[in-house]
Amino acid sequence: MEILVWVGAAISLAGLVGLLGCIAKVALAKRKNLSDEELRAEVQKVIPYNMGALLLSVLGLICVMVGLFLA
């Protein structure tokens, strides 16, 4: 089950990269000095990607935990 740990770690790392990308996208939007409505629209566009990346990260951590319990 060692492979499950490594696959889970890779999935979790991909989710972490996605979360960092979401943070960078929102930070860039904040630097543009947009109005409140425009900034809110930009943040709302990022929310589905943020939730998907968070889900990916959690699933990866679950795979790691399952792999550790089965090892």
Residue ranges per domain, the chain? 2-66
3-state secondary structure string, the chain?
CHHHHHHHHHHHHHHHHHHHHHHHHHHHHHHCCCCHHHHHHHHHHHHHHHHHHHHHHHHHHHHHHHHHHHC
pLDDT at res. 66: 96
Tens digit of each residue's pLDDT (9 = 90 or more) over 17-55: 999 999 999 999 999 988 999 999 999 999 999 999 999
The predicted model scores a pTM of: 0.86
pLDDT band at 71 (very low <50, low <70, confident <90, very high): confident
* Confidence band, pLDDT 50/70/90 cuts, at residue 1: confident
pLDDT of residue 43: 95
